[in-house]
Amino acid sequence: MFNKFDVLETIDMIEREHLDIRTITMGISLLPYIRETAESTAAAVYEAVCRKAKDIVKVASQLSGEFGIPIVNKRVSVTPVSLICAAFPQEAPRVGQALDAAAKELGIDFLGGYSALVHKGTADYEKIFLESIPELLSTTERVCSSVNVASSKSGINMDAVRLMGEIVKRTAEATRAQDGLGCAKLVVFANAVEDNPFMAGAFHGVGESGTVINVGVSGPGVVKHALENIPDANLNDAAEMIKRTAFKITRAGQLIAKEAAKRLDAEFGIVDLSLAPTPVMGDSVAHILEELGLECVGGHGTTAALAMLNDAVKKGGVMASSHVGGLSGAFIPVSEDIGMIEAADRGMLNIDKLEAMTAVCSVGLDMIAIPGDTPATTISAIIADEAAIGMINNKTTAVRVIPVPGKDVGDSVEFGGLLGRAPIMPVHKTDSSRFVLRGGRIPAPIHSNKN
């Protein structure tokens, strides 16, 4: 018989503290479905995705019932579409449309992989592909796009950074009627990972197997609750508590991941140990930091508290899973975290502090609404800053900002659902265009020369 306190603890975690499996993501390689033309490729891709993932929703619901733990999202990631469409890049949106149709057929909310990897250089076909992103994101509902523009090994492709500033602006404009919602489905990465299960940045790397199940766990509420029980503990003990909690959460994720892989006839890939917040009360990473003793996230001490949280989550999680991957750390998407929204509303959290925070946690400037008249070159400069942090620190960083058309500081934007709400955050008005327009490539740092 189990210890009754253990049993009740699990029940409490699920019922009161929002413990859930955030996503089961099936990675599917599209390389075998490249055909002579875009039309036949789109048909083959649609058929393959629908066939391989046909049971994903059903299996997730079964597992959720059997183990009594909610499984929030079911998703699919695919090989970067720029590679699939390299022979006919002008027609890449046709494949994107097929993927959107497949996502609808499967009943999943997002499918990731309208992506390109251009961290060292942008081939002609990739440039054409990148130009198609705004149109694709405005004409599809569920397809997500990501572009890797830098890596620790190859430096920062500043030509791609410059272009992506424009692509972000055009995407916002193309989805003006929805307050630039398209940009919520577009991530610009440095050191993108090939097995990330979380949207919008998920894609299925070329080094991956044919069909893989990656699982993202979550549980900011569980961590916060655990810390509430030790309000006066020193930081050694607080870190230890976070580790132990992350261990338990991840073990649940590992169990679901293995079982899901078995039932969906796929390989078990990784468990991503991220603490992913939602806009729901009690599911906030910001509130964990405040529980550690900060009056408000964004104040001095935030970076240190986040560094500790991120590291403790990794340490606890690594012990609990046979394969850890993806982004694995704390997420700080502003619009998706009620504590971050409140801090931004009060003017306590700004883009500069967020940038510092991205140096010690798992992602980057995420879901930040900025004024619609922000120049493309300024967005490129923001991307370059984040890429530099990622490149130098050997970590993944990303930029997902939304220049909301027609809105300015003081306004707020509502994306709804998991994407949440965001007050428009000011960006620096100084001109960075001369730097951005230089183009070229920022060389890889000296410590990347490890061979």
d(CA 73, CA 387): 28
Neighbours of 107 (CB within 10 A): 11
DSSP code, position 334 = G
In the block, tokens 């655990």 appear at 226
* Axis-axis angle for helices 376-393, 351-358 (nearest 10): 30
Report in angstroms how near the CB of residue 15 gets to another protein at its nearest: 8
Q: CB–CB of 23/72 below 8 Å? A: yes
Select 7 or 206, whichever has its Cβ closest to another protein: 7
Report in angstroms how near the CB of residue 19 gets to another protein at its nearest: 9
Select 312 or 425, whichever has its Cβ closest to another protein: 312
Select 10 or 139, whichever has its Cβ closest to another protein: 10
Cite the DSSP H helix spans in 77-132. 81-84, 92-106, 124-131
Select 31 or 319, whichever has its Cβ closest to another protein: 319
Using CB under 8 A as the criterion, which residues of the chain lie in contact with another protein when the complex forms?
1-4, 6-11, 15, 61-69, 248, 251-252, 254-255
Percentages helix, strand, coil for the chain (3-state, rounded to 5) are: 50, 20, 35
Report in angstroms how near the CB of residue 164 gets to another protein at its nearest: 41
Select 15 or 414, whichever has its Cβ closest to another protein: 15
Closest CA to 48 of 210, 278, 251, 243: 210
Select 64 or 303, whichever has its Cβ closest to another protein: 64
Report in angstroms how near the CB of residue 392 gets to another protein at its nearest: 37
β-strand 441-442 against 155-157: which pairing, if any?
Answer: antiparallel
- Facing residues of 399 across strands? 188, 365
Question: CA dist 99 to 43, 96, 153, 196, 425, Å?
Answer: 10, 5, 31, 18, 33
Closest CA to 188 of 365, 393, 340: 365
Report in angstroms how near the CB of residue 261 gets to another protein at its nearest: 15
Select 9 or 355, whichever has its Cβ closest to another protein: 9
Report in angstroms how near the CB of residue 5 gets to another protein at its nearest: 9
Report in angstroms how near the CB of residue 312 gets to another protein at its nearest: 18
